[in-house]
Amino acid sequence: MTSTLNRLLETFARIGATPDGGVCRLTGTPEDGGARARLAAEIVSRQLGLLVDPIGNMFGVAALAPSSQEAVIVGSHLDSQPTGGRYDGVYGVLAGLLAVEAVAARAAAEPGKAKRNLVAANWTNEEGARFQPSLTGSSVFAGTLALDAALGLADGAGVTLGEALAAIGYRGTADLSLAPRRYVELHVEQGPLLEEKGVEIGIVIGCWAARKLSLVFHGEPSHTGPTRMARRRDALRAAARAIELHHCLVELGGSGAHASAARITVDPNSPNVTPCRVQVWFEFRHEDAAVAVALGDRFLAEARAAVASLGVDIEIAVDERRGTATLDPHGAALTAAVARELGFSAMEMKTIAGHDALALNKRMPASLIFVPSHNGLSHNPAEFTDEAALDKGLAVLTDVLWRMVTEE
């Protein structure tokens, strides 16, 4: 029998569905608006209070303890990558909503037990696919990104995040007034470890570091036909040389780092003009922040040397350094205890991917719970986690939230 959670996942998978079975719901698009509207209806139908803040974060508020100003928040995100799967982010939003509903029902049946309130959240622009940086809404809520700066982020066409949210009706005005005590996020792993080890629940205790570099290669436009080769200053050729160097540093270095060069823009992008400006987004990820930083430094030095003979200059447009972090030890202990009592196997692990929990951990103790991903696929239409695994994650989440709202 299909669970309520899986029926909801099927419903949301149709919003922004792609022909290959995935979803594309970029922040501020009509597809994002459609998913938000459906989530708003689900929140209201469960008699929760609906709030939308100025950066578009959505909250479903369960007033379990009206005399308390404290709240536990649970959630994730509805936006996706262009090649998104049907579980990344949305699973945590919908499981969070159902967990809030279940905890609210239990609180009503056991009056006086709840010591604080409970809030289900959808955070704006977690993915950072259309607007950079990622983790936007949760960073504004955490106080580490200014609201005006976030609203002013522009996509490739010059549309700002504020304009995009207003266009779909989700540039809100109602800040969450409750004081956050803890945050919990349930997510598919997006990696292979749980499946490889045959473990049902991942207890995330920390994260890898990341060094993200956006480099601009400056050359000179010239005709691709008659311009002599020695005269050309080809920015795209320089970028290609740097991309290969970037991967070789990781593949041959043996550090265990992960690296990517996953986005590129070319100007003037004409087949008859040598590219004069090329921007490439590079990143290094490693469990040790010092290794990620050192790889970035070495790459910058070697890239400049490698392209010098081509007459191309390198400008650093972005140099973002995300350090490692330790997530809430109390939340991890609660998750371990709940998994054990429910008879589910569990293991501690670190996340390599970024999540809203990491941004929110800077304001409140945050917990992150994983369930397995088949073949470790994510940001891919073939992303898959079976129904039983999804329901186990929901069961753990529900009990963890009950303990968090009732404990002294």
Say if residue 152's pLDDT is above 70.
Answer: yes
Pair 16, 124 in one domain: yes
Biggest alpha carbon–alpha carbon distance for the chain:
83
| Rg for the chain, CA atoms, rounded | 23
Say if residue 285's pLDDT is above 50.
Answer: yes
Query: 35-85, pLDDT tens digit by residue?
Result: 999 999 999 999 999 999 999 999 999 999 999 999 999 999 999 999 999
Query: Distances in Å between the alpha carbon of 247 and those of 30, 260, 262, 265?
Result: 37, 7, 12, 19
Query: 92-115, pLDDT tens digit by residue?
Result: 999 999 999 999 999 999 999 999
Distance CA 280, CA 214 (A): 6
- Under the banding of pLDDT at 50, 70 and 90, the label for residue 1 is very low
**Which string of DSSP letters, residue by residue, matches 55-117?**
T--EEEEE-S-TT--EEEEEEE-----TTB-SSTTHHHHHHHHHHHHHHHHHHHHSTT---SE
The verdict on whether residue 234 carries a ligand-binding annotation is no
Percentage, residues of the chain above pLDDT 90: 98
Pair 309, 384 in one domain: no
Cβ contacts of 9 within 8 Å, gap of 6 or more: 86, 87, 90, 91, 94, 390
Which residue, 293, 322, 351, sits at the end of a domain?
A: 322
Pair 317, 333 in one domain: no
Would you state the pLDDT for residue 402? Answer: 98
The verdict on whether residue 77 carries a ligand-binding annotation is yes
Would you state the pLDDT for residue 162? Answer: 98
Pair 92, 16 in one domain: yes
Pair 258, 194 in one domain: no
> What is the per-residue burial (b if ≥16 Cβ within 10 Å, else e) of 56-89?
bbbbbbbbbbeebeebbbbbbbbbbbebbbbbbb
Query: 296-325, pLDDT tens digit by residue?
Result: 999 999 999 999 999 999 999 999 999 999
Decide the pairing of beta strands 325-326 and 201-207. antiparallel
Q: Say which CATH number the domain at 398 has.
A: 3.40.630.10
Query: 198-251, pLDDT tens digit by residue?
Result: 999 999 999 999 999 999 999 999 999 999 999 999 999 999 999 999 999 999
353 DSSP 8-state letter: S
| Residue found under tokens 């369930």 | 371
Pair 259, 195 in one domain: no
Which DSSP helix (H) or strand (E) runs through 243?
helix 235-253
Provide the terminal-to-terminal Cα distance of the chain, rounded to the nearest Å. Answer: 38
Pair 149, 42 in one domain: yes
Alpha helices (H) in 283-386, listed in sequence order: 289-307, 329-342, 356-360
The verdict on whether residue 313 carries a ligand-binding annotation is no
Pair 358, 316 in one domain: no
Would you state the pLDDT for residue 2? Answer: 64
Q: Say which CATH number the domain at 242 has.
A: 3.30.70.360
Q: Residue 332: helix, strand or coil by DSSP?
A: helix
Percentage, residues of the chain above pLDDT 70: 100
Domain range spanning residue 257? 209-322
